[in-house]
Amino acid sequence: MTFRQAFVIISIFLLFSSCEKTQTNLEFEQSVAYEIFPALMDELHYDTRLGPPPPPAPIYDANENLIGYDTIMAERTMTEWQMQLAGFKADSVKLVIAVDDSTRLLKKEEREELLKYFSDKNLILDTSNQTKNYKIKLNRLKADPKLKFKYRSEFPAGSEIWSEEYDFNLSGTTGFSRIQFDTTKSYGILHSGFGCGKLCGTGFRIFIKKENGKWIIEKMILIEIA
């Protein structure tokens, strides 16, 4: 075998090794995303057929100064709300969630938030490729059995999604970003959110970590609200 032939063989081996490593990194990230998704939906989703419980009614004195809140009425209202919620949970209606077809990208300054939040850990950012999205696989999304997932592309674009009439209950929209890990693959950061109407939605910066062999949500910080 000539030197030239040996060089070509080694180069091809290194090329395939690099591709395999990149694929392995992506597969790892995807497995983490799908692992934390059930907990993420527990935090983000609520049954939009029933709004949040109303706040207690304020009580004012004769000079219109706030002196307290009607806690008795608030307790009755909360009891009624909880009964309605229990009824919705017990029914057989499937709630459809429109999911972004692909992940989003994290900006550089957002990726660095991982270092700030876990500053006591002296983390170093993993430099794996974060320049491309990947398609989200609906069959790997696990959540409450009442929820059914459809791709966002199956619906009208923009806010028009909320103007259409459907033969199912559209309960909201969601999606998530790529995950920025540290070099030990023990900590990470991503973005996600939940849309519930034309002018209704939230966005969160989410910190995750591996604990006892399982990935958990460490903290969710609200960064967008409408």
Q: Is the model's pLDDT at 221 over the cut of 70? A: yes
The residue written with tokens 């990935």 in the block is 215
Distance CA(212)–CA(17), nearest Å, equals 30
Would you state the pLDDT for residue 94?
87
Q: Is the model's pLDDT at 19 over the cut of 60? A: no
Would you state the pLDDT for residue 3?
52
pLDDT band at 9 (very low <50, low <70, confident <90, very high): low
Q: Please give the full DSSP string across 128-154, using - where no structure is assigned.
A: S--S---B--GGG----TTEEEEEGGG
Q: Is the model's pLDDT at 224 over the cut of 80? A: yes
> The pTM is what?
0.77
Average pLDDT over the chain, rounded to whole? 87
Give the tens place of pLDDT for each residue, 35-93.
999 999 999 998 777 777 778 888 888 888 888 888 888 888 888 878 877 777 777 78
Retrieve residue 204's tokens. Answer: 């969160």
